[in-house]
Structure 1
Amino acid sequence: MRVDVFRQEYFHTKREHMAGVATDLLDFLKELRKNNNRDWFEANKPTFKKLDDDFKTFFGAEILEGLTKTDHIEKMKLFRIYKDIRFSKDKTPFKTNRSLSFSREGAALRGGYFLHVEPGNTYLGGGFFGPNPTDLLRIRKEFEMDDQEIRAIMADKEFSKVFGSEFVPYAQVKTAPKGFSKEHPAIDLIKNKSFFFEKKFTDKEIVAANFSSKVVHCFELLRPYFDYMSDVLTTDLNGVSLLKD
């Protein structure tokens, strides 16, 4: 949903403001985990729709409002609860989590924010998950040429306290990508296929009234990384802009 459309819906809503994730939503997701079938879900769909609407309209708005103070956000997306089971061994039809993403605005602002809420497995993150081949090669070439700036961002005291000092190893090549030396000092960075950071939260933390402000703070810590990667992905290796005037 585009931000301008979402704002119109949100600011015309009269219900009570929320700051943390409703305990009722976690309880619903726990029950869905035990009853992951279409009959149970259909019988409880009105409850789900209300909880999901509250989650998007209020909690999503809390984050969006905070993010837009320091960043340009174009779109917020609430992921569907229905699973695509066509190619999955797990045939349960529903996800047992709720997830939101926030996309930055325009070709010059790269990177995206993500929040995943699930009983016992809530986390937020941001970065570049499975970038296209052109972006992947450009990122790797940048790290090969100069890894000092990215390492300085990752070594920042506050950043590393929240996100650690390395990318989440979702997918990596075993040694080195084609065309890169496995002996290169930055091979620990180059071998990644995704460039994503995560921060986990307990169930107690996510139902607290200050959770949305914590999320916004963590997202704000990603900005130096996003600014760096935006510069990398919108220029060639000589620093010449790839953006059209």
Structure 2
Amino acid sequence: MVFEGFPDEGLVFYEGLEADNSKTYWAQHRPVYESCVRAPLQALVDELAAEFGTAKVFRPYRDVRFSADKTPYKTHQGAVVTAEGRGAGSLYVQVSAHGLQVSGGSWRLESDQVARYRRAVADDVQGARLQAEVDRLAAGGWAIEGDRLTRVPAGHDRDAPRADLLRHRSLYATRRWEPVDWLHDRRALDEVRTAWRDLDALTTWLADNVGATTKDPRPRR
């Protein structure tokens, strides 16, 4: 399947799902989800795979086992690419009723990864590289996001260089577009490709300095 954009029906589907997140609504509108949301997203990431790697398209169902929110379905469809061997530094794309979102970085770091991240941020060379890249992205309209502590972590002076980056327990950059005409044609592919290329220095820094966790996988509950 060739990517031809995200049909407006897919965005309307998510508007309805936000209003009625029920199995009844899902069953009645699932063909729209399959043809106007999941299939176009799969086509998009398939076309980008040669440059960025194979994406994982997420399931539409929420894991409600340990959540107070028991609504069964996600109100967006996302896909993530993590290049083999990188461990940290992924690329993400998401479509919803609110438009298109593209992100890159690390959304969740284990304790050993956080320790390596902080050592690299504190390093004069590697820390300066990251700060320059974060500043460049922010100046270009990217939102710099991630879980962060309220204070500089123990072992680092509160006035340390790059104190704000030291507070991060995860780090990623995000750009969002509200529904626009080009979302419905192949220009959306070009926007995602350009955005992912713009994130390359950030994801490469994370892969080089943080890498994969060395901790044993958590047992499934």
- Match for residue 149 of structure 1? 129
Does the 8 Å contact 2:78/2:94 carry over to 1?
Answer: yes
Q: Which has the greater radius of gyration?
A: 1
The amino acid that maps onto 1:78 is: V
Aligned residue for 2:169?
193
**Contact preservation (8 Å) 2:142, 2:174:** yes
State how far apart, in whole Å, the 2-side matches of 1:94 and 1:228 are. Answer: 34
Identity %: 19
Q: How much does 1:208 deviate?
A: 4.2
Shift of 1:39: 1.6
Amino acid at match of 2:193: V
Greater Cα offset, 190-199 or 89-98: 89-98
Under a length normalisation based on structure 1, what TM-score does the superposition of the two structures give? Answer: 0.76
The answer to which of 145-154 and 211-220 deviates more is 145-154
How far off its partner does 1:101 sit? 0.7
Residue 159 of structure 1 contacts residue 221 of structure 1 at CA under 8 Å; is this kept in 2?
no
Pairwise CA distance, 1:218: 0.7
When the two structures are superposed, what TM-score results if normalisation uses the length of structure 2?
0.84
> How many angstroms does 1:47 deviate by?
3.0
Is the contact made by 2:22 and 2:71 (CA closer than 8 Å) also made in structure 1? yes
State the 1:180 CA deviation: 1.9
Q: Report the equivalent of 2:218.
A: none
> What amino acid sits opposite 2:158 in the alignment?
K
Counterpart selection for 1:180 from 153, 156, 178: 156
Counterpart CA distance in 2 for 1:178 and 1:121 is 40
Distance in 1, matches of 2:38 and 2:204, equals 32
Counterpart pick for 2:90 among 112, 117, 121: 112
Q: Distance in 1 between matches of 2:70 and 2:205?
A: 41
Kindly indicate whether the alpha-carbon contact (under 8 Å) linking 2:23 and 2:72 is maintained by their aligned counterparts in 1. Answer: yes
Instruction: Tell me what 2:29 maps to.
Output: 44
State the Cα distance separating 1:53 from its structure 2 match.
Answer: 4.2
CA distance in 2, matches of 1:230, 1:43: 43
Note if 1:32 corresponds to 2:17: yes
Q: How many residues align?
A: 208
Runs of at least 4 residues off by over 3 Å: none
Hey, what's the Cα distance between the residues in 2 that align with 1:57 and 1:192?
Answer: 32
- Relative to structure 1, the CA distance from residue 176 to residue 159 in structure 2 (aligned partners, 3 Å threshold; closer, same or farther) is closer
Structure 2: gaps (5+ residues): 212-221
How far is the alpha carbon of 1:223 from its aligned partner? 1.1
SS of 1:40's equivalent in the other structure is: helix
Q: RMSD of the TM alignment (CA)?
A: 2.2
Match of 1:125 in 2: 103
CA–CA distance in structure 2, aligned partners of residues 35 and 43 of structure 1: 12
Partner of 2:81, secondary structure, is strand
Within 5 Å, give how 1:70-89 maps onto structure 2: 71=52, 73=53, 75-89=54-68
| SS of structure 2 residue aligned to 1:175 | coil
Compute the displacement of 1:159 (Å).
6.9
Gaps of 5+ in 1: 1-14, 235-245
Mapped to 2, the partners of 1:148 and 1:64 lie a distance apart of 31
